[in-house]
């Protein structure tokens, strides 16, 4: 749940992920849905991610996509809550704006 540009590095022409203290074994569809949500991937990018991941892991892309869609409402709620908490902790206006936008998405669904 923490894959974002700040945790991706390039080393010797390879992409590496860092910051694994909260890593766990869970539903890969949740992780992929979080990547989509956290990086604002458009429909084409999401479809490509699903296709490539499903092919490499020998999964049915339609089932993987369906499971990812099941997680989306929960991720929107999680993101709104996290931004709200960060705003309350820091009083940083950026988190206030992100929280307001995220709660708007939660309420519009």
81 has a pLDDT exceeding 90: yes
Cut 0.85: pTM above it: no
Report how far residue 80's alpha carbon sits from residue 65's, in angstroms, rounded to the nearest whole number.
Answer: 23
Closest C-alpha to 23, from 7, 5, 39: 7
pLDDT at 9: 85
Average pLDDT over residues 96-106: 93
For residue 5, the number of C-alpha atoms closer than 13 Å in the C-beta half-sphere is 3
- The phi, psi pair for 105, rounded to 5°, reads -65, -40
1 has a pLDDT exceeding 70: no
22 has a pLDDT exceeding 90: no
- Average pLDDT, whole number, for the chain? 89
Beta bridge partners of 16: 9
Report how far residue 109's alpha carbon sits from residue 95's, in angstroms, rounded to the nearest whole number.
Answer: 21
Report how far residue 84's alpha carbon sits from residue 23's, in angstroms, rounded to the nearest whole number.
Answer: 23
Of the two residues 59 and 5, the one the predictor is more confident about is 59
């Amino acid at each position: 749940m923490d894959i974002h540009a700040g945790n991706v590095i390039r080393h010797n022409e390879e992409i590496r992920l860092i910051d694994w203290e909260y890593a766990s074994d869970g539903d890969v569809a949740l992780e992929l849905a979080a990547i989509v949500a956290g990086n604002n991937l458009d429909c084409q990018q999401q479809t490509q991610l699903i296709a490539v991941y499903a092919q490499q892991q020998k999964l049915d892309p339609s089932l993987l996509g369906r499971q990812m869609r099941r997680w989306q409402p929960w991720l929107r709620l999680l993101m709104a809550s996290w931004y709200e908490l960060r705003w309350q902790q820091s009083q940083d206006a950026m988190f206030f704006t992100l929280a307001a936008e995220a709660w708007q998405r939660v309420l519009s669904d």
